[in-house]
Structure 1
Amino acid sequence: MRRTTTSDATIDRGDWPDAVTPWGDAAWRTAVEEFTTRGLTAHGLRPGGRPAVRLRPWSVLVRIPLDDGAHVWFKANPPASAFEAGLGEALGRLAPEHVLRPLAVDAARGWSLLPDGGPVLRDTLTGTTPREAARAWEELLPRYAEIQQALLDRTDRLTALGVPGARTADLPALLDRLLAENAVHLPSADVARLEAARPEIARAAAELAALGVGDSLDHSDLHGGQILRPELGRYTFFDWGDSSVTHPFCSLLVTFRAFGRAHGHEELPRLRDAYLEAWTGPGRTPRDLRRGLTLALRLAALNRAAAWGRLWPGNPGLAIAEGEPPATAWWLRAVLGTPGGDHLKG
């Protein structure tokens, strides 16, 4: 991880020393300082120390110490995910008990000033057994489903805020667009397989849409680093820049992959059942819901592919790992399988 310092900030560039961000623009930094000062003053807060800046191809994040020893966070999103600021403000009204409520927002510029919400779930689960980790997820996933259910009738409002639309019925068209944009990054054999899979993807999307669970908000990157756990039994969801309006079950793709890497796959059926229990209703059997989730885990790769393109202008496509194609193309290729669902038989 590469760190540099300036007279007034410590800069963390991570593995992206050449990432293009607006931080190098002095006028932009001045505007950020004015925004954060206004936001802090409105809440009776005062800065008190050197800020720490994290620059990534997909965001600028600044940790601002306060004079009382606490701290807050400034976040700037690139244009393609600038909707996160307005979405965070809306979620703060619609689901205040479950989300990190911003102190100040500039929706037009994609800026947010956020309170510190405590440690992330991933850190609080360090050293726990897989069963202990699963208990936490069994507890929080129904609460996440509550957010999604509260938004079922508000999807038009979400898209009006700029949240990308990837509605279940439109996922085959999203496949077409992503393939046209990324075919150059894939072997011709993979392009041919994706083209051949198009009718199957269309059938899967139609079957999922017929399940009777409407489109809602999909966080699209729901793992233990995107959930705060200030104390036992409390969970706060944040970092919505990868979100889209699509089938809610798509949310579990990243959850299952991340949990499996950290804690193994044996407990995944418990997470699945805890989440799906919240969606039971007339005409939807557990078997129907499990079938729907299997479909969603495959189709969700399209949303992940789309989200990886939301970078600051001027940055090249990012790869999942060295030697792999850009992440957008990698996730597009994942549609050919069932990523995240292989350990959920039975």
Structure 2
Amino acid sequence: MGEVSVRVDRGQYPDAVSPWEREAWRGAALDWVAQVPAAEGLRVADPWAVRLRPWSVLVRIPVEGPGSVWFKANPPASAFEGALSAAPARWVPEHVLEPPAVDTGRGWSLLPDGGELFRNALDRGAVRPGAWEEALRQYARMQRVLVAHAGEMEELGVPSARTAALPDVFDRLVAQNTAPRSPERRCLEGLRPIVADWCAELAAVGVSDSLDHSDLHDARLFVREPGRFTFFDWGDAAVSHPFCSLLVPARRAGELHGHDVLPRLRDAYLEPCTGGGRTAAQLRRAVSLAWRLSALGRACSWGRLFSAASGGAAAEGAVERVRWLMALRDDPPL
């Protein structure tokens, strides 16, 4: 590959170590990135923007004409993301991006430009706040289709955190707290039977496990065209109770537009799930239970860092895991 201009953004993690620091890895990755657009008949341009975080390497590659392509490298714990991006492109192509190239062995993927981020559209007033409701309806419809592919997603390496197994997930996360006599650990150990009861009650509602994005905020979906949304960035995903996905977008919408929007968002999200003998009251109770239990998925996400991550990044991950586990005690707003 010829010389290109590269800008590096380390954000709030100036000392975070990723594979980018290794010259051989960096050269192989950039060569792979350059070859794929060429095979698609695209000509790359300058500058390339590199975003380094303890959990990913992301490179924006401009191509001649409008748009860009995006390279992403995941740590081993989320290396499934490339395969998970490719498979739903076959199952639910209207809802996701189709990657032109994936290297599952190295945890690399290349994605096309998906259009305008929902966050940016909100900021410039191009969509109404009520667009959250339609986005969540579409996401819930996608989850319903993906129920039939839950086992296939697990075979791709997507973490299995099925509703019935969430108490075991809780146990593993508590065990990662290396301060055995800490007040937090004692509190969490006391929560164990309550968590098991919540999981049993949630499973009894009968909503099948599906794909939980786990971090579906307003910068994790594109506005492909008015009223049509594309969902992406699956590095925190798991096969779990689908309603666990509601926590992050609902909290973000509440921050932006006030918490009065939450009941509307919940009901819009639940529309595709009605029927099947379940009452509205049962589904709303299930949302409250899943809201609590979604803290487990968020805690798991903080363990998916590059193995070289140390110092501040590793310490932050440990703190965040405990913080999310302690959030199990918080009463849901819905």
On the 8 A contact 2:55/2:304 being kept in 1, the answer is: yes
- The match for 1:98 is 95
| 1:139 correspondence with 2:139 | no
In the alignment, the residues of structure 2 paired with residue 206 and residue 325 of structure 1 have an alpha-carbon distance, to the nearest angstrom, of: 28
- The match for 1:315 is 309
Counterpart of 2:30 (choices 14, 24, 33) is 33
- Residues 165-205 of structure 1, C-alpha deviations (whole Å, 9 max, x = no match): 11101111111110011252x97222222111111110110
Counterpart of 2:327 (choices 312, 318, 334) is 334
Q: Letter of the aligned partner of 2:228 in structure 1? A: R
In the alignment, the residues of structure 2 paired with residue 19 and residue 246 of structure 1 have an alpha-carbon distance, to the nearest angstrom, of: 30
The alpha carbon displacement at 1:128 in A equals: 4.8
In the alignment, the residues of structure 2 paired with residue 170 and residue 132 of structure 1 have an alpha-carbon distance, to the nearest angstrom, of: 39
On the 8 A contact 1:211/1:288 being kept in 2, the answer is: yes
CA RMSD in angstroms comes to: 2.2
Matched residue SS, 1:54? strand
1:221-300 mapped onto 2 (5 Å cutoff): 221-300=215-294
Matched residue SS, 1:132? coil
* Structure with the higher helix share, 1 or 2: 2
| 1:203 correspondence with 2:203 | no
- The match for 1:179 is 174
In structure 1, stretches of 5+ residues that fail to align are 1-5
Stretches (4+) displaced over 2 A: 67-70, 186-190, 316-322
In the alignment, the residues of structure 1 paired with residue 23 and residue 178 of structure 2 have an alpha-carbon distance, to the nearest angstrom, of: 38
Matched residue SS, 1:152? helix
Change (3 A) 1:211 1:317: farther
Counterpart of 2:72 (choices 66, 75, 95) is 75
Matched residue SS, 1:224? coil
In the alignment, the residues of structure 2 paired with residue 7 and residue 304 of structure 1 have an alpha-carbon distance, to the nearest angstrom, of: 37
In the alignment, the residues of structure 1 paired with residue 318 and residue 69 of structure 2 have an alpha-carbon distance, to the nearest angstrom, of: 36
Matched residue SS, 2:177? helix
On the 8 A contact 2:92/2:142 being kept in 1, the answer is: yes
Counterpart of 1:194 (choices 188, 194, 197) is 188
- Residues 2-46 of structure 1, C-alpha deviations (whole Å, 9 max, x = no match): xxxx97301111111111111111211221123223311221111
- The match for 1:58 is 55
On the 8 A contact 1:71/1:115 being kept in 2, the answer is: yes
In the alignment, the residues of structure 2 paired with residue 320 and residue 137 of structure 1 have an alpha-carbon distance, to the nearest angstrom, of: 34
| TM-score (norm. length: structure 1) | 0.91
Change (3 A) 1:7 1:140: closer
The alpha carbon displacement at 1:66 in A equals: 1.2
| TM-score (norm. length: structure 2) | 0.94
- Residues 110-155 of structure 1, C-alpha deviations (whole Å, 9 max, x = no match): 11111111111011112659x931x201111111112111111211
How many residues are aligned here? 332
Q: Letter of the aligned partner of 2:83 in structure 1? A: G
In structure 2, stretches of 5+ residues that fail to align are none
